[in-house]
Structure formats: structure tokens, C-alpha cells
Structure 1
């Protein structure tokens, strides 16, 4: 698993966009007290359920791997030329 250049920022953006997606889909919403770990897990599982990302292999569902998957997902959603996609 090769780390992306702006992976931490991409994960933050994925949490933000994923939260909006979750609300619009009617799957719930995050509270201010929810941890980043819970948000990452919830968004990852929702995206897998909706078949927007491929699930990790059994035994590979760790927080760093889920973060990486979310970073990859959001990097494909951002428009070309976005500052987080620059090398």
C-alpha cells in the first residue's frame, strides 16, 4: 500500500464529503462528539455497502487501510487540478 502525497488531508476531505453523502442518503449523521475513527469506519462501510469502493480483504480491515481506501475514493471524486491532487 503506497501512501498518497496528501493522504491526511484527503482523509479529512473524505470524512467531510462522506458525512454529507451519508446524510443525503438517509443513513444517519455524525454528532460533534463522534471520533474520527468511528466516522472513518461508518463511511467506509457505507461506501462498501453501496458498492462505491471495493471492500478490503478479510483480516485487512484496519483503520490505516480504511483511511487509505477513503483517500483513494475521494481522490477520484475531486476535479482535475484540485490542490490535494498535485504531486
Structure 2
């Protein structure tokens, strides 16, 4: 599993963009009381359902792996020379 140096920043960007994607799909958005854990799980499941990311194997569906999948998803959307992708 490739680890990014800026994985936390990539995850934050993935949550922001993922929330906009979810709203375009008809989701009303997250409330101020939703935790980051809930947002990660919700966005992960939405992206898997829409076949934008591959689901994790059974038994591997945990928060660290979901966060990594979201970071990978957003990293693939960014141009190669984006500052967050530099090592």
C-alpha cells in the first residue's frame, strides 16, 4: 500500500471534494455534529457504490484503510505536479 507523505492533507481535500460530490448526488450534506469518522465512512461507501473506488476486502474495512482509499482516490484526480503529491 503506497503511503503518501501528505496523506492527511489529501484526506482533508478528499472529504471536501467528496462532500461536494455527495451533494451533487442529492445528499443534503454533513451537519456540524458529524465526526470525521462518519464522513470518511459515508464518503467511502458512496464512492464504492458509484464504482469510483474499489471496495476493500472483507476484514480490511477499517478507518485507516478507508482513509487511505480516499487519499488514493483524490491523488488520482490531481495533476502529477500538484504540491500534495511531492515526496
Structure 2 length-normalised TM: 0.94
| Residue 18, structure 1, aligned to residue 18, structure 2 | yes
Q: How many residues align?
A: 87
- Runs of 4+ in structure 1 over 6 Å off: none
Q: Any gaps of 5 or more consecutive residues in structure 1?
A: none
Structure 1 CA distance for aligned equivalents of residues 2 and 72 of structure 2: 11
Verify the 8 A CA contact 2:40 2:66 in the aligned structure 1.
yes
Tell me the CA shift for residue 85 of structure 1.
Answer: 1.0
Which residue in the other structure is 1:59 paired with? 59
CA RMSD of aligned residues (A): 1.0
Tell me the CA shift for residue 4 of structure 1.
Answer: 1.2
Structure 2 CA distance for aligned equivalents of residues 62 and 80 of structure 1: 28
User: Deviations 1:41-87 (Å, cap 9, x if unpaired)?
Assistant: 00000000000000000111000000000000000111232110112
Structure 2 CA distance for aligned equivalents of residues 71 and 13 of structure 1: 8
